[in-house]
Amino acid sequence: MNARSVIRLLGTIVLHVVMYALAIIAVAPFLWMVLTSFKELGDILTFPPSWWPKVFIWQNYVDAFDAAPFGRYYLNSLVVAFAVMAGQMITCSMAAYAFARLHFWGRNVLFYLFLGTMMIPGQVTMIPSFLVLHWLGWIDSYPALIVPGLASAFGTFLMRQFFLTIPRDLDDAASIDGCGKFGVLWKIILPLARPALATLAVFTFMGVFNDFLWALIVVSSEDMRTVQLGLAIFRDRYQTDWGQLMAASVTSTLPILVVFFFAQKYFIKGITLSGLKD
């Protein structure tokens, strides 16, 4: 055991300690939320906030699910989130390919203008967007929740930046072998862009699942409500039904964390991004 390896060991230990400490700071509020969903009201309205429930109760979950047909809301949220997620992976990859690989007049201008669309807060475009949907007759339907989400400046930007890091030699090699542009995208670029695709999938899923404002204005009937709309019922002008709100929030956050946990393997090193062996 020489000095070098001791230092290395110490370094590893320090690294672990620091990372875990930071992780605890990051996750503590979430743990509190989960534990609070099992508490009685008196246990929730305390200061300093209590951590472990004095009495473990399931009632909040029962009440939350009684308050509104959350089963249906989950179905709606999941359908819409998966549809938009899949849709964006396709449309954004295609658009990003055009911006990253193809040359055409006005490419950069168009790209930056497209980026610019992200810079206007949704609160002012919300009502005009609603009017478009109304003219299409899509109010209160799945298309209203899905179709507007199929184009994303964020997603396109993300994929384009990633595509830029993939060496062009590969494209050229494939073209020479007779691959058309779409073939290059499908066979060469996308497989290499798995980390970006996985990232996009996670963020899109999360963004759609957590959306409140848009769902609020396009959904009227109870059958089409999403989970976020459902959660609103636990707060009104003066009061919050804390226990039920925590219970419903926990169940609405879990799907996203599950998707995240499993999508991670696409960001983790270990998969050989070879194909670059020349």
Partner 1 sequence: MILFAGCAKKTDQHPGTITLSFWHSTVSSTVPALNELTAKFHQEFPDIEVKPQYVPTGDALIQKLITSVQSHTAPDISWIHANFLQDIVEADAIYRIDELQSPSDSLSQADLDDIYPALLQESKWRGTMYSLPMEATGIGLLCNKVLFRKAGLDPEHPPGSWADLRECSKRLTVARDGKLEQVGLFVPVFPASGPFGDWMVWQFYPFLFQAGGDVINKEQTHVLYNSEAGVRALTLWKDIYSDEHQSSFTIDYEVAFASGKLAMALDGPWNLPRWRLIKGLDWQIAPLPAGPIKRATIVGGEYLAVFRQSRHPREAWQFLRWMLRPDVQAFWSMKSGYLPVRSATSREPAYQKFLEENPPLKAYVDQLQVAQAPSPVDFFGLRISRHLAEAIEKATLGGADPKTVLDEAAAKSDALLAGAARNKSPQP
Partner 2 sequence: MYRELTNARRNRSDWLSALAFLSPTLVVSGAFVVFPLLFSFYLSFHTWNMFSSQATFVGLDNYRKIATSEEFWAVLKNTAVYTLGTVPVNMLISLLIAYFLNKKLAGKRLLRTAFFTPVVMSSVAAAVIWRWVYEPNFGLLNTVLGWFCIPAVNWLNDPAAAMSALIVMGVWKTFGVNMVLFSAGLQGIPDHYYEAAEIDGAGRWSRFWYITIPLLAPTTFFVLVMSVIGSFQVFDTVYVLTSGGPLGTTKVLVFYLYEHAFKFFEMGYASAVAYVMFAIIFTLTMLQTKYLKQSIHYSA
The contact pattern for partner 1, residues 199-228, with x = CB under 8 A and - = no contact, is --------------x--xx--x-xx-----
**Minimum distance, C-beta of residue 66 to partner 2, in the bound complex (Å):** 20
β-partners of residue 20 are none
End-to-end alpha carbon distance in the chain:
40
**Minimum distance, C-beta of residue 59 to partner 2, in the bound complex (Å):** 18
**137 in the Ramachandran plot: left (φ > 0), alpha (ψ -120 to 50) or beta?**
left
Compute the distance between CA of residue 162 and CA of residue 164 in angstroms, rounded to an integer: 5
Provide the token pair at 50. Answer: 């209590």
**Minimum distance, C-beta of residue 10 to partner 2, in the bound complex (Å):** 14
Per CB under 8 A, does 236 bind partner 1?
yes
Tokens 């991670």, located at residue: 264
* Stretch of residues binding partner 1 (CB under 8 A), selected from 68-76, 111-119, 164-172, 257-265: 68-76
Compute the distance between CA of residue 191 and CA of residue 197 in angstroms, rounded to an integer: 9
The contact pattern for partner 1, residues 72-111, with x = CB under 8 A and - = no contact, is x-xx------------------------------------
**Where do contacts with partner 1 occur on this chain (CB under 8 A)?**
40-42, 45-47, 63, 65, 67-72, 74-75, 126-127, 130-131, 134, 139, 213, 216-217, 220, 222-223, 229, 232-239, 241, 244
